[in-house]
Amino acid sequence: MPAKPKVAFYWCASCGGCEEAVVDLAEGILDVVAAVDIVFWPVALDFKVSDVEALPDKGIVASFINGAVRMSEQEEMARLLRKKSKYVIAFGSCSHLGGVPGLANLWDRQSIFEWYYHKAPSLAEGSAQEPRESVEVPEGTLTLPAFWDTVKALDQVIDVDYYLPGCPPTPKLVGNAVNALLRGELPPKGSVLAGTRALCHECPLNESKPEKLLIKEVKRVHLTKVDPEKCLLAQGVLCLGPVTRGGCEALCVKGVMPCTGCFGPTDEVRDQGAKGISYLSSILDFDDEADIRRAIEGIPDPVGTFYRYALPRSILMRTKVVKPHA
């Protein structure tokens, strides 16, 4: 009987939702387990790094790596899995674009440590110690991974073959990707394994979206009585469907929540946040600067709104705020 293809899963800086997405394959996971040999999956199975090191280069057919790269250990594991894998798949928004952890690029290591270990109100004054990368104890030297200044998407650290977008990717897309892999029917390297058009094209509310869409106010969904049968953006609720890659079947909109952009931009767009800002500017129905300012002030967290999943992969990549928590 031919050997089953070897597959690895790894978890960098993420919330763990992508690991859940694998489990969400439900009974489909049994087919995956029957078809592949999982050689590394720290969150679920007790393998050691030395098990991976002992494999021949390219001995793993595919490594699914979720999470952004924030720590030295994550970078080392990403490089090791790259060396040992024929294909590396960036799994989920954090790995694909930097994700929500990438919003930490508004600050740097020093200012983050300053807040968490010295200034946060929950701390007793002078009680906290910053984590040290190495400490001597009678038994020897203990080490911790280094905390990098900048959060990176996976392909800013290693070569990536495919991207599975989403926060997290849907079980259907995960199943499709695994099946394509097993059948050897993978698209060209660099492909994002989801839709190619913007989300609006698959949204059930698209027919109610006016051809010439103009709004006079940006509303927050939890403060608005929304008509669930009407395009959310046409009602003034900031839905990023027009600037987000399709493929999730408009999951959030079906739950009467606006799309926040987790599938990232479409192939033609380099910077999802800039595209979102530019789109919003084109639909704000004002000539007067004061009106425009008032509408924009209705967005309390512009970076978190337009760059929620993609700050590290944006043109900016990071910003430095000198006194972020003052």
Q: 3-state DSSP call for residue 260? A: coil
Q: Please check whether residue 5 is in contact with residue 87, taking contact to mean a CB–CB distance below 8 angstroms.
A: no
Interaction of residue 231 with ligand SF4, rule CB under 6 A: yes
| Contacting residue, 106, 154, 215, 252, with ligand SF4 by CB under 6 A | 252
Q: Please check whether residue 97 is in contact with residue 66, taking contact to mean a CB–CB distance below 8 angstroms.
A: no
Whole-number Å distance between alpha carbons of 226 and 224: 6
Q: Which of 263, 220, 226 is nearest to 238 (CA)?
A: 220
| Contacting residue, 233, 274, 280, 310, with ligand SF4 by CB under 6 A | 233
Strand 85-91 versus strand 60-66 pairing type: parallel
Smallest separation, CB 199 to ligand SF4 (Å): 5
| Contacting residue, 262, 277, 280, 310, with ligand SF4 by CB under 6 A | 262
Whole-number Å distance between alpha carbons of 326 and 302: 20
Cα distances from 292 to residues 209, 232, 242, 280, 281, in angstroms, run 22, 20, 20, 11, 9
Q: Which residue has the tokens 């084109």?
A: 282
Q: 3-state DSSP call for residue 38? A: strand
Binding mask 277-316 for ligand SF4 (x = CB under 6 A): ----------------------------------------
Nearer to ligand SF4 by Cβ, of 99 and 241: the residue is 241
| Contacting residue, 61, 173, 232, 280, with ligand SF4 by CB under 6 A | 232
Interaction of residue 244 with ligand SF4, rule CB under 6 A: yes
| Contacting residue, 9, 91, 107, 263, with ligand SF4 by CB under 6 A | 263
Q: In this chain, which stretch among 66-74, 135-143, 154-162, 235-243 interacts with ligand SF4, using CB under 6 A?
A: 235-243
Q: In this chain, which stretch among 34-42, 82-90, 183-191, 256-264 interacts with ligand SF4, using CB under 6 A?
A: 256-264
Footprint of ligand SF4 (CB under 6 A): 166, 199-200, 203, 205-206, 209, 231-233, 239, 241-242, 244, 248, 250-253, 259-263
